[in-house]
Amino acid sequence: MKFFIDTANLSQIKEAYELGILDGVTTNPSLMAKEGIKSEEGVLKHYETICEIVDGDVSAEVISTDFAGMVEEGKKLAAIHPNIVVKVPMIKDGVKALKWFTDNGIKTNCTLVFSAGQAILAAKAGATYVSPFIGRIDDSSWDGVELIGQIAQIYTLQGFNTQILAASIRNALHIVRCAEAGADVCTCPLDSILGLLKHPLTDLGLAKFLEDANKMKAQMTVA
């Protein structure tokens, strides 16, 4: 399973990349707005900077909702860097745009997916990635990870090549469960990635090893 980071924050992207386990980045208009970017040029420049930091796919979302607008915007985004993946919402014109991008060799990420039916449509349109929103499904008292399993089963059975990109990840357990359910990619906030590191027995075990190593060192000095 690939690891993407779900942020537009450059220092968090750098921190995750320096860990050596990062395969890409996803952003959305809300995450871009959080970084205080104020112009269209600023947005394009920010994507360029992200592509310079990370050697992997970077999802950049269109904000148009009509076919012509999405195509126009997507072409501009794709021209920034070969690693840009155009992120398109799961709406009727979005499906048409996904197909257009597929036919024109532009990678896509179909976003705002909440059902297996939507995931089938995204795959039929040739999307490179489909993004089911796990956390937001959990928020409405359904099990988001179950959807990942269902889509994985359908894609395997039907031979679809679209990669399942589990999005809206809220914690480390989501990552583990998405891996079990067959996600190809998990896009996560930095805290959830770092949450995978945590185990009290690791901390206790390391403290004991260091204590014993220091005792041994002290005895070596005396000898």
Active site residues: 87
Tokens for 7? 């942020």
Closest CB to ligand E4P among residues 26, 108: 26
Cβ of residue 43: shortest distance to ligand E4P, in angstroms? 15
Q: Which helix (H) or strand (E) holds 57?
A: strand 57-61
**DSSP codes joined into one string, 87-126:** EEESSHHHHHHHHHHHHTT--EEEEEE-SHHHHHHHHHTT
Cβ of residue 189: shortest distance to ligand E4P, in angstroms? 7
Count CB atoms within 10 A of the CB of residue 20: 6
Instruction: Identify whether the C-beta of residue 26 lies closer than 8 Å to the C-beta of residue 32.
Output: no
Binding site for ligand E4P (CB under 6 A): 6, 26, 28, 111, 131, 133, 135-136, 167-168, 187
Closest CB to ligand E4P among residues 118, 217: 118
Closest CB to ligand E4P among residues 133, 160: 133
Closest CB to ligand E4P among residues 135, 149: 135
Q: How distant, in Å, are the alpha carbons of 13, 29, 30, 83 from that of 53?
A: 8, 20, 21, 12
Q: What is the spatial distance between Cα 25 and Cα 10, in angstroms, rounded to a whole number? A: 11
Cβ of residue 28: shortest distance to ligand E4P, in angstroms? 4
Q: What is the spatial distance between Cα 183 and Cα 70, in angstroms, rounded to a whole number? A: 27
Cβ of residue 131: shortest distance to ligand E4P, in angstroms? 5
Q: What is the spatial distance between Cα 217 and Cα 68, in angstroms, rounded to a whole number? A: 70
| Closest chain position to ligand E4P (CB) | 168
